[in-house]
Amino acid sequence: MIAGLALAIAGCSSQPDAPAPSEPSSADGAWDAELIEQAKQEGAFVIYGNAAAEQGEGLTEQFKRDLGLEGIQVEYNRFTSAELLQRFQTEAASGHILADFILNAYPSQFTAPENADYFKTLTPELLPELETYQDIAPENVTETGIRYSVTPFAVQYNTDLLQGDDVPTKWEDFTDPKFKGQIILNDPRTNPAYNVELHYIAEELGDDWLRAIGDLDYQLTASGVTGIQQLAAGGAMVMFPTPNQAQTLPEGAPVGFIVPEGVTFVAESWFGLTEDAAHPAVAQLYANWLLSKQSREFACAQKQWNMSMNVDGIPGAEECPVRTEFQSITDTEEVAKVASYQQHIWDLLKLQ
Amino acid sequence: MTTMQTAAPVRPVRRSRRLTRGQAVGWTFSLLLIAVLVYPVGTMVWRALAPQGTLDLEGVAGTFTGYGLWNATLNTVLVAVPAALIATLIGATFAWLNERTDAAFGPLGRLLPILSMLFPTFALAFGWLVVGDRTSGFLLGVLRLIVSPFGIEVAALPIGIASFAGLIFLYSITLAPFVYVQCQAAFRQLDPSLEEMSRIAGRGRLSTFFTVSLPSIRPAVTMSLFVTLLLGVGMYSIPAVIGTPGRITVLSVYIANLINGQYPPLIQEATVIGLCLMILILAVWLMLRASLNQGRYASVGGRGIRPNRIAMGRWRGVLRAAMWLYIVFAVLLPLVGLVVVSFEKYWTPDLVQGGFSWENLLAFTKVRGGGIALIGNTLWISVVSATVIVIVAGLVAIGSTGRSPRLYAVVASVATKVPFAIPTIVIAVGVLATFGFPPFNLSGTYWILLIAYFFSIPIASIAAEAAARQVGPELVEAARVSGASPLRSILRVNLPLMLSGLAGAWVITFAHVMGDLNMIPILSSATNRVAGTALIDILGGGGSIIAAAQISLIIGLVTLAVVVVVTAIAQPRFTGRGRRSRDAAAS
């Protein structure tokens, strides 16, 4: 039954911009009818994810349309990575994990020895699409978690204040004196991703880059959501490090997004299926759908989601920006390593 | 030695007397309260302090070498202490003006000074950022409009809201209503004869205020100062939105950064800091309590007198203008900022060329779950939470104050202070771990939010104690001498006379729960969404901040409507139920 779930990669016609169902297809002809029937009987699906609610729910809505599962009640619960870990650990300690499907930034959520037992082993039998994915991007697959997408953390800029050649293209450009007082820095103490980005840039350009930024009388923001408003209001020329937040502003707001040449950090999205899920059939179908071409085409067409598959040549991801010089963190040891540098970074930036 | 001497007389009493029914009920109530409040927090604190089962002293010690901890502590003191003093002065003065002088606003106008308490602090903070940012605030836009015809270009304001002065200013105007509510209730209950005698004896208005009026309501003023200090130390939205751009990190933001700024989150460090704060707070509270037990202040007597309002003469207009000015700065300016942003395509200080749009006007209806439905959920949860909390806090306060406080009530009173300084995420996780799964299985239900909000009891507890202290013992004793049972005394004498103070505690708690954004991330899911869930979604990058501003505005207006009703119900003792309870005691 599960083996019959394989999905077609080729010949799928999708309508990326319209929320219409994509053609259901599989290498063997169609989605597994028995599994779909089981999913309908389960009737619900619980996701814990760190992606913005708009994005998380956008994907599940399209999944329901594509597989004819409109009757399923999806609970997408959005957390920050830290909150998600707390919630998960509390549930795990109580022996009652309520989520069927978990989407988080760090693979250790799924692969850490103390957590591994809580997740299903991912095999082509469970997820037929995995075989194709594994062939093209083996580094994206572990025993219990799959790297689904990446989100570059780069630079947002005010398009009224910076135009044409004035728009920086390299990280070195931001040390220009014209940026004095014109940079909004996302406070690196509020999100580990910001630290990692600054760490990687400093590794490439040296401490002097951080020191120069620290001398530029930058503005700090604790929240990218209010920071982007300040940027649109003309409070500064640029804001970094940040994912593209243009979707939080109305159309026409003078805000653009650039990924400078050289190193750029990406936040990852990994997913796993919980072992004792209350709705295993829906979770299995959703995981397969996420790996399918039709899902990727849909996700990549949603430009405002700022997603990238980070895998060259994966079917359906042609519209997603793929860059080879992205750097990401793949386990908590690396996070800890960067954390050990963070005070040095903060000192150079004169955060106190 | 002291302990033994104290304990010795108690032992024979325990041996020789069985528990009365009242004591049995009291101890049961206290133990239940301790179980609900202390167990979830206690287990989480222990887990944080001893992640491997034994106390991790090295980890605990490491907390105190954290980057920027002492700087954040100093910043907290530099902001919270002056703000608490200013807020207490503003709040107590406005309460006196409104209750004792002819500068008072009308009945509804008396609510004006508490307006800022009714809106989520996030809304006020963002509103003030929109208005007072040095380089992009509306004040800059207005200044440019004024000076640009003269060929003068202004790039930035000389000082913005994101500064030490701005933070103290915002803390002060946000905290003042908490003082106002408590002091207003105390003035309403207070026999005005002392003030009148002071005036007859020739003292001036100001002198009467400082030497008679304020000392007369010392419990309310002292506890208000304490509460504002606590709230100032715990405040998060304002320092996060305003302090960070000004590069001013305070303890609450530091603790939040330990949890959200690191992966895995540094729960142990955050809990240790919270624990230290809690011990400090309990120590200060016990000292205040001892001081108030021995102190001299006026209380509700057996006679009811309608106060003659002090005529402020030519100062009346000036004082009223001062109150209006406060309301403009505390509420109107930031709210106007939010409203203007709601009509703009996006935030811009260029009021002329920015362009107005109706597009965003109904943005709040488009949030997940529907803005109106979510606000409805928040409303009923807040009403239930505030009511339960105030009933419990009121009973604990009655039992733990007065001439012979009950031991079980004092223990319960301590328990109600425990949650204050513990990081909210620790409380939320503790509540989830204790009540979320079998046998309770409340995860994803509104019940779990109600339980979590019960942990908002510390401020209500302190406010209720101030109200209880303001009720003199003679009325209760008169009721008991007349043969009333303890329960009847509480219901017919204590509670009605504390009504104004309890209403103040209710308003504070209600407003706090309405605007909460702290319990939501861990405890609210798709099946128990409230307005805060939508705000968290938006702040997490999932929607328009205009919608967040609108939801905050509506929450404020709904809160205001409810507070108007509650204030109308909670009549002062000179009329209605207050008079009846006094008569009941006298008969």
The tens digit of pLDDT for each residue in B231-257 reads 888 888 888 888 888 889 998 888 888
Query: pLDDT-derived band of residue B581, with 50, 70 and 90 as boundaries?
Result: very low
| Residue numbers of B between 249 and 268 with CB closer than 8 Å to A | 249, 253, 256-257, 259-265, 267
Instruction: Tell me the pairing of strands A326-327 and A264-273.
Output: parallel
Predicted ipTM beyond 0.85: no
How far apart are alpha carbons B362 and B376 in whole angstroms?
17
Question: Are B381 and B375 in contact, with CB atoms under 8 Å apart?
Answer: no
The DSSP code for B350 is -
Pair type for strands A183-186 and A219-221 = parallel
Torsion of CA B477, B480, B481, B484, to 10 degrees: 150
Global pTM value: 0.78
pLDDT for position A318: 66
Using a CB–CB cutoff of 8 Å, tell me whether B552 touches chain A: no
Among candidate residues B528, B478, B101, the one with its CA nearest the CA of residue B311: B101
Residue A134 sits at the chain B interface (C-beta within 8 Å): no
| Burial of A118: CB neighbours in 10 Å, binned 0-12, 13-18, 19+ | buried
Q: For residues B46 and B54, what is the distance between their CA atoms, to the nearest angstrom?
A: 9
pLDDT for res B4: 36
Determine the Cα–Cα distance for residues A217 and B246; give it in Å rounded to an integer.
11
User: What is d(CA B334, CA A220) in angstroms, rounded to the nearest whole number?
Assistant: 21
Query: Which percentage of chain B shows pLDDT scores above 90?
Result: 13
Residue A280 has pLDDT above 90, yes or no: yes
The answer to whether the CB of B189 falls within 8 A of the CB of B573 is yes
% of chain A exceeding 90 in pLDDT: 33
Q: Do A234 and B348 touch (CB under 8 A)?
A: yes
Q: Give tens-digit pLDDT for B274-311.
A: 888 888 888 888 888 777 766 556 555 545 555 677 88
CA distance B333 to chain A (A): 18
- Interchain contact, A226 vs B544, CB within 8 Å: no
Given CB atoms, is B157 within the 8 Å cutoff of chain A?
A: no
| Homologous superfamily, domain A3-104+108-144+266-324 | Periplasmic binding protein-like II (3.40.190.10)
pLDDT of A310 > 80? The answer is no
**Amino acid A158: pLDDT:** 95
| Nearest CA-CA partner of B442 in B450, B183, A269 | B450
Counting Cα atoms < 13 Å in the Cβ hemisphere of B284 gives 16
Distance in Å, alpha carbon of B383 to nearest chain A alpha carbon: 26
Determine the Cα–Cα distance for residues A348 and A351; give it in Å rounded to an integer: 8
The predicted model gives B264-268 an average pLDDT of 79
**pLDDT of B277:** 82
In this complex, do A98 and B443 lie within 8 Å of one another by their Cβ atoms? yes
Q: Assess whether pLDDT exceeds 50 at residue B14.
A: no
Rounded CA Rg of chain A:
21
CA distance A7 to chain B (A): 30
**Domain coordinates in residue numbering, chain B:** 23-586
Please name the residue of chain A whose CA is at the shortest distance from the CA of residue B237.
A222
pLDDT at A195 over 50: yes
CB B125 within 8 A of CB B246: no
- Write out chain B residues lying below 8 Å of A235, CB-based: 133, 135-136
Where are the domain boundaries for CATH 3.40.190.10 in chain A? Answer: 3-104+108-144+266-324, 153-263+333-348
A-chain residue closest to B255, CA distance = A190
Q: Is residue B468 over pLDDT 80? A: yes
pLDDT for residue B579 is more than 60: no
CA distance readout (Å), A69 to A41, A77, A92: 10, 19, 29
pLDDT reported for residue B538? 78
CA dist B431 and B437 (Å) reads 10
Listed range (A8-17, A176-185, A237-246, A332-341) with the worst mean pLDDT: A8-17
Residue pair B208/B199 in contact (Cβ under 8 Å)? The answer is: yes
Q: Of A245, A264, A309, nearest to A154 (Cα)? A: A264
Q: Out of A56-70, A121-135, B382-396, which region has the weakest mean confidence (pLDDT)?
A: A121-135
The SS3 assignment for B448 reads helix
- In a 13 Å sphere around the CA of B61, the CA atoms on its Cβ side amount to 4
Query: Three-state SS for A249?
Result: coil
Q: How far is A88 from chain B (nearest CA, A)?
A: 10
The residue type at A97: I
CB contact under 8 A, A250 and B438: no
CATH fit for domain B23-586, picks 3.10.20.310, 3.30.70.100, 1.20.1250.20, 1.10.3720.10? 1.10.3720.10
Q: Which residues pair with A141 in a beta bridge?
A: A146
Q: Is pLDDT above 70 for B104?
A: yes
Query: Among A85, A223, A232, whose Cβ lies nearest the Cβ of B346?
Result: A232
Residue in chain A lying closest to B435 (CA): A94
Question: Could you tell me if B33 and B392 are in contact, meaning their C-beta atoms sit under 8 angstroms apart?
Answer: yes
Q: How confident is the model at residue A279 (pLDDT cuts 50, 70, 90)?
A: very high
Q: What's the rounded Cα separation, in Å, for the pair B303 and B132?
A: 50
Is the CB of A86 inside 8 Å of chain B's CB atoms? yes
Spatial contact of B137 and B161, defined as CB atoms under 8 Å apart: yes
Q: What is the pLDDT of residues A146-164, one digit of tens each?
A: 888 888 888 999 999 999 9
From residue B401, alpha-carbon distances to A159, A214, A262, B220 in Å are: 64, 55, 68, 14
Asked if A252's CB is within 8 angstroms of B261's CB, the reply is no
Name which of B187, B178, B158 is nearest B91 in CA terms. Answer: B178
Q: What is the pLDDT of residues A57-67, one digit of tens each?
A: 889 999 999 99
Please list, in sequence order, all residues whose beta carbon lies within 8 angstroms of the beta carbon of residue B234, skipping any fewer than 6 positions away: B252, B420, B421
Strand-strand pairing, A146-158 and A101-104: unpaired
Report the pLDDT value the prediction gives residue A18, as an integer from 0 to 100: 41
Q: Looking at the complex, does the CB of residue B240 fall below 8 Å from at least one CB of chain A? A: yes
Peptide bond into B264 cis (omega under 30): yes
Contacts of B99 (CB under 8 A, 6+ apart): B184, B187, B188, B307
Q: Do B345 and A250 touch (CB under 8 A)?
A: yes
User: Which position has the token pair 């104050």?
Assistant: B401
Which residues of chain B are within 8 Å of residue A61 when distances are taken between CB atoms? none
Of A230, A232, A247, Cβ closest to residue B133? A230
Q: What is the pLDDT of residue B378?
A: 93
Higher local confidence (pLDDT), B82 or A134: B82
CA-to-CA dists, residue B474 to B89, B137, B468, angstroms: 31, 57, 13
Taking 90 as the threshold, does the pLDDT of residue A37 lie above it? yes
Residues B354-392: tens digit of each pLDDT: 566 776 777 777 777 788 889 999 999 999 999 999 999
pLDDT band of B582, cuts 50, 70, 90: very low
Neighbour-count burial of B520, counting CB atoms closer than 10 A to its CB (0-12 exposed, 13-18 middle, 19+ buried): buried
pLDDT of residue B85 exceeding 60: yes
A343 touches chain B (CB under 8 A): yes
Any idea how long chain B is?
Answer: 587
Q: Distance between terminal CA atoms of chain B?
A: 47
Chain B positions touching A188 (Cβ under 8 A) are 261
Q: A155 to chain B, minimum CA–CA distance in Å? A: 16
Distance (Å) from the alpha carbon of A75 to chain B's nearest alpha carbon = 5
B122-179 per-position pLDDT tens digit: 788 888 888 888 888 888 888 988 898 888 888 888 888 989 999 999 999 989 988 9
Among A109, A184, A225, the residue to mutate for chain B (most B Cβ within 10 A): A225
Contact between B560 and B118 (Cβ < 8 Å): yes
Task: Give B61→chain A minimum CA distance, Å.
Answer: 18
- Please report which confidence band the pLDDT of residue B102 belongs to, taking 50, 70 and 90 as the band edges: confident
Q: For chain B, say whether A181 makes contact (Cβ under 8 Å).
A: yes
- A101-104 and A44-49: which strand pairing? parallel
| A345, closest residue in chain B (CA to CA) | B67
Torsion region of A25: left, alpha or beta (phi above 0 gives left; psi -120 to 50 gives alpha): beta
Confidence band (pLDDT; 50, 70, 90) for A184?
Answer: very high
Mean pLDDT in residue range A179-206: 89
Q: By CA distance, what is B155's nearest residue in A?
A: A235
With tokens 């009291």, the residue in question is B26
Q: Write down the mean pLDDT value for chain B.
A: 81
- pLDDT given at position A332: 59
CA dist., res. B122 & res. A225, Å (int):
13
Q: Which residues, in sequence order, are CB contacts of B499 under 8 Å at separation 6+?
A: B570, B571, B573, B577, B578
Question: pLDDT over 70 for what percent of chain A?
Answer: 82
Q: What DSSP line would sit under A20-60, residue for residue?
A: SPPPP--TTSSS-HHHHHHHHHH-EEEEEESS-HHHHHHHH
Asked if residue A2 has pLDDT above 50, the reply is no
Burial label for B481, CB within 10 Å (0-12, 13-18, 19+), is exposed
CATH topology of domain A153-263+333-348: D-Maltodextrin-Binding Protein; domain 2 (3.40.190)
Percent of chain B surpassing pLDDT 70: 88
Q: CA–CA distance from B271 to each of A340, B34, B45, B238, B424 (Å)? A: 21, 20, 6, 22, 10
Give the whole-angstrom CA distance, residue A176 versus residue A165.
14
- Testing the interface with A: which of B346, B360, B362, B374 to mutate, by most A Cβ within 10 A? B346
Peptide bond into B439 cis (omega under 30): yes
Tens-place pLDDT, residues B507-527: 889 988 988 877 887 788 778
Chain B within 8 Å of A85 (Cβ-Cβ)? yes
Are A326 and A310 contacting, i.e. CB atoms less than 8 angstroms apart?
yes
* Confidence class for position B107, pLDDT limits 50, 70, 90: low
- Whether residues A234 and B68 touch (CB distance < 8 A) is answered with no
